[in-house]
Amino acid sequence: MTSQKANTSRYSPEARDIYFTVPNIISALRIISIPFITVLVSRHEMIAALALIAVSSASDGLDGIIARRFNQVSKIGQILDPIADRLLIFCSILALGIAGIIPWWMLIIVGLRDLWMAIQVIWLAQYDYGPLPVHFVGKAGTALLMMSIVGLIFADLGTSTFFHLFYLAALAAGIWGLAMYWLAGYIYTRQGVTLLRKELGERYGS
């Protein structure tokens, strides 16, 4: 099993058992900001919501740069960062649904996918595997969803034809983002199943 873990070490590159680091604090603050964003969007206070999302998005890139530059990549950080992304997307879509801006089925689709991914992460953790490497499709799907969320929030600022067309474009981007989000989930599932098959085969000789 040791050799198997060595061969798959790329799933947790240079991660250490450290907790109180600047990147982890930034990720924690991002998570703390999510309820405030949710409340602002649900109340149609969109300018304040956009400002807070902008700060959160900027900090998302900043924590990764700091972690790599100052050798502060941690196992808990590899978990906190994607959790912050997933929570921001889910809670933003929840708020948009409460505000009556998007249909509720979008929230259900996102929620089911994230629930399944959470189950897989917990399952892999039982065999000492860290988070799976982020796939390009997953990055693209997340980016499209975030662009859609920001676009939908912006579109709520006005009622003219321009804002209506902007709303339709943002909604279309969100639907494409959901499709890629689920495609990435399928890719991650195949990666996880492959790892578990190798692990169980080595452990039980099957």
pLDDT digits (tens, 9 = 90+) for 10-21: 444 466 667 788
Distance CA 164, CA 169 (A): 9
Q: Could you tell me which residues come within 8 angstroms of residue 92 by beta carbon, excluding any fewer than 6 positions away?
A: 37, 38, 41, 53, 149, 153
Q: Return left, alpha or beta for 71; rule: phi > 0 is left, psi -120 to 50 is alpha, else beta.
A: left
Name the 3-class secondary structure at 103. Answer: coil
Q: Specify the DSSP class assigned to residue 10.
A: G
What ranges in 70-130 are assigned the alpha helix state H? 75-98, 104-125
Q: In this predicted model, what pLDDT tens digit does every residue of 90-139 receive, in sequence order?
A: 999 999 999 999 999 999 999 999 899 888 888 888 877 777 788 899 88
Phi, psi of 45 (to 5 degrees): -90, 70
- The answer to whether residues 132 and 191 touch, using CB atoms and an 8 Å cutoff, is yes
Token pair 């912050």 is found at 84
pTM (two decimals): 0.81
